[in-house]
Amino acid sequence: MSSETVRLIGASPARSPLLLTHNPVHKLVPVLRHGDRSVTESLVIVEYVDEAFDGPPLLEAQLEGRKFFGGDAIGFLDIAACGLAHWIGVIEEVSGATLVNHEELPAFCKWANGYVNDETVKQCLRSRDDLVAYFSARKEMYMARARATTLHK
């Protein structure tokens, strides 16, 4: 897999009234509307759909018998979900919390491990050790902010 650096140009800051109504805090997409609920953030939407509707978990079902979402090669969905693969283990280690149950999502965990250990992908990611050190050094600051946010609600 070859790679190249691409400079992204931001989209127009104009936001539709519909978006502002359903995501007034962050003013970003995606937003899932289900009944009278607005669900924001990609991963939260996937989790919500998995909990709200019957059927196999979305991520797990997509990975059944495959190395990556598209098959044997990394594709668009793998790249879109890369934050999950790289960050979940870091967040779990620093926080001491379990975010992904490896017994419930074995295909997802296998995908995440394969993705972050792909030679091309490894060249694009910060080292896991660097991220753990960075967030460990700032853990107390993040915890204080979370407590302050909770107190003000």
Its pTM stands at 0.52
The pLDDT averaged over each successive group of 10 residues in the chain (153 residues) is 59 67 72 83 80 74 77 81 84 90 88 89 89 91 83 60
User: What range defines the domain where residue 33 resides?
Assistant: 14-54
> Burial letters for 53-72: b for 16+ Cβ neighbours within 10 Å, e otherwise?
eeeebebbebbeeebbbeee
If you write DSSP's letter for every residue of 108-143 in order, what string do you get? Answer: HHHHHHHHHTSHHHHHHSPPHHHHHHHHHHHHHHHH
pLDDT tens digits for range 124-149: 888 899 999 999 999 888 888 888 87
In-domain check, residue 6: no
68 and 101 co-located in one domain: yes
Model pLDDT, residue 3 = 67
45 and 62 both lie in a single domain: no
Do 70 and 122 share a structural domain?
Answer: yes
